[in-house]
Amino acid sequence: MVSVANGFCIMTKIDFYTGSEDKLRTACQLSHKAMQHGLRVLLHVPDDDTADKLDKLLWHFPPTAFMPHCHSHEDKAADMPVVIGRDETFHHSDLLISLHRDCQPFFSRFERVIEIVSADDEDAKLGRERFKFYKDRGYELRHFDLTKKPGDSA
């Protein structure tokens, strides 16, 4: 549970986006959408290489706009709508987009968590394990299949 509103505890909501062809691009798309809705985003990455790739991609995404972002260790991180992090430095608790292979132990500090899963067999298997982890603990889960086009039947 992450926060209290009007005396009620609010449990973290978990969204799974599966079938991603490019997890970093999907993270950028979801970050942009969240930022447009007034949410602050922590893009949590497993290593410096992923952080650098994501940083470069965010400078050009979307092509017709600018998405302000920085790394969590930078002084301006507390004011940025999108932050890339590797540690447990959190300047907000709105949205965590995890690019890890396993569940992060601090996920419940956030109101919402997004897990991005690729179509790769191993990544899909690890995604199912994360889904089970959250489900077994009673978290509200939603699933979005990125391989389905709008209008496809379920």
Task: Report pLDDT for 1.
Answer: 45
DSSP string, 16-43: EEEEES-HHHHHHHHHHHHHHTT--EEE
Write the CATH number for 78: 3.40.50.10110
Residue 150 domain flag: no
Q: Work out the burial of residue 151: count CB atoms within 10 Å of its CB; fewer than 13 is exposed, 13-18 middle, 19 or more buried.
A: exposed
Confidence of residue 67 (pLDDT cuts 50, 70, 90): confident
Residue 138 domain flag: yes
pLDDT-above-70 percentage for the chain: 91
Q: What is the pTM of this model?
A: 0.89
Residue 153 domain flag: no
The range of the structural domain enclosing residue 108 comes to 3-145
SS3 119: coil
Q: Are 26 and 145 in contact (CB under 8 A)?
A: no
User: What pLDDT digit, counting tens, does each position of 78-125 carry?
Assistant: 999 999 999 888 888 999 999 999 999 999 999 999 999 999 999 999
Domain count for the chain: 1
Residue 93 domain flag: yes
Query: What is the torsion angle, in degrees rounded to the nearest 10, for the CA atoms of residue 71, residue 77, residue 83 and residue 89?
Result: 80
Residue 9 domain flag: yes
Q: What rounded mean pLDDT belongs to the chain?
A: 90
Chain centroid to CA 83: how far? 11
Task: Report pLDDT for 46.
Answer: 96
Residue 17 domain flag: yes
